[in-house]
Structure 1
Amino acid sequence: MSEFIPRSTRHNRESNEAWEWVQALAIAVILALVIRTFIFSPFSVSGPSMLSTLHNGDLVIVNKVIYHFHDPKPGEVIVFHASENKDYIKRVIAMPGQTVSAQNNVVRVDGESIDEPYIDNGNRTADFGPVEVPPGHIFVMGDNRMNSSDSRDSSLGTVPLDQVVGRADVIFWPLEDFSLLW
């Protein structure tokens, strides 16, 4: 024996279920927008300046909230606003108040050579400096030193900390290159 459910009750139940779906989708869209705007966002690598760490077309996840708790650290890969319409991805080499230079293919910060395991053998660093990093700025370089527009160029110079978007944490595309960057 089947139970008789009045048409109006059945319609109300269907309307409530549809409304719940609309609410759930709206919440999901809002959460996605908040996460992408304030916490994490994808970034597409363009160009060869970070070879062999990052390749043209790689997609990375940028952690946009981490630098609200502390400043970037040497060795971290960051995304920053290079101009009003262009973001760059580079590696932090020196912090405010430090002096950076390179001689004979060795990068030095405050006179001490730095360990750079991310640089491929044979990847040369042209001599430059010394450059003193001003307060509120950082010195950045691409890993592909002979093919990178970075803080060594007068057109870019040191990067103001308030122009840093976040830290590149994960390569997520292509899948075979999936890895952490820190």
Structure 2
Amino acid sequence: MKTLYEIWSWFRSLGIAFIVAFCISLFVFQPFKVSGHSMDPSLHDKQYLIVNKFPHTFSYLPNYSDIVVIDSRIDRKRTFKDDLMEFPLLQFLTSGSDPIFYVKRVIGKPGDSLKFKDNQVYRNGVALDEAYIKEAMKYSSDQKVVVPDKHIYVMGDNRNNSKDSRSIGFIPLDHVMGKKFP
């Protein structure tokens, strides 16, 4: 009987630890793996980072130049079920599939006007000083982009090798999974 009680005690402790870990990763911190070279030289392929999930949990805007993890499936509404199904252990088990989470840098917030000319990004008419980018961006556009309400505009630090808001569009705030910690 004593052995059975000891086994039950271990299972109960492991169960409580799992629930606490699950809640922490759902609402507070979560590990993510960088996939690809779009954030070189700041972050590298297969590098792990810890993400502060408070921006996602409390729906607040990240700051300019923050490194964020986004859900790239912007054509669909995110639900609480998505958050539950994306538990970190499942990410490690499915690392071979196409990544849906991208690691990018915040360039524009709601209401910002962005222009891409002379291989540089202009926000609200002012050229950005971006010491973190890998090399000069080889992208220009005559179009002015205005970030809509409740969205952000993101780009990779390796501008010439990045799938970001230039190709996937504006990122809804509920698709910002969190920001890099610290």
Alignment equivalent of 1:135, drawn from 149, 164, 171:
149
Larger proportion of strand:
1
2:173 paired residue number = 161
Q: Which has the higher contact order (CA 8 A, sep 6+)?
A: 2
> Whose helix proportion is higher, 1 or 2?
2
* Per-residue Cα deviation, 1:62-112 (whole angstroms, up to 9, x for no partner): 111234163111100111111167121110001111101122232110001
Listed as ranges, the matches of 1:1-182 within 5 Å are: 12=2, 14-67=3-56, 68=58, 70-83=60-73, 86-120=100-134, 122-128=135-141, 129-153=143-167, 156-169=168-181, 180=182
Give the deviation of 1:140 after TM superposition. 0.6
SS in 2 for 1:152: helix
Partner Cα separation in structure 2 for residue 137 and residue 146 of structure 1: 23
- Segment drifting more, 143-152 vs 30-39: 30-39
Q: What runs of 5+ residues in structure 2 fail to find an aligned partner?
A: 77-98
**For the pair shown, which has the larger CA radius of gyration, 1 or 2?**
1
Determine helix, strand or coil for the equivalent of 1:21: helix
TM-superposed CA distance for 1:15, in Å, is 4.7
Preserved contact between residue 107 and residue 125 of structure 1 (Cα < 8 Å): no
- CA drift of 1:158 comes to 1.0
Is residue 113–residue 144 contact of structure 2 (8 Å, CA) maintained in 1? yes
Amino acid paired to 1:157: G
- Gaps in structure 1 of 5+ consecutive residues: 1-10, 170-179
Matches of 2:44 and 2:32 in 1, distance apart?
12
Cα distance 1:66–1:159, how it changes in 2: closer, same or farther (>3 A)?
Answer: closer
Partners of 1:82 and 1:108 in 2: CA distance:
24
Q: Give 1:117 shift.
A: 2.1
Q: Which moved more, 1:24-33 or 1:141-150?
A: 24-33
* Conservation of the 8 A alpha-carbon contact between 2:34 and 2:46: yes
CA contact (8 A) 2:133 2:157 kept: yes
- 8 Å CA contact 2:39–2:157 kept in 1: the answer is yes
Counterpart amino acid of 1:159? I
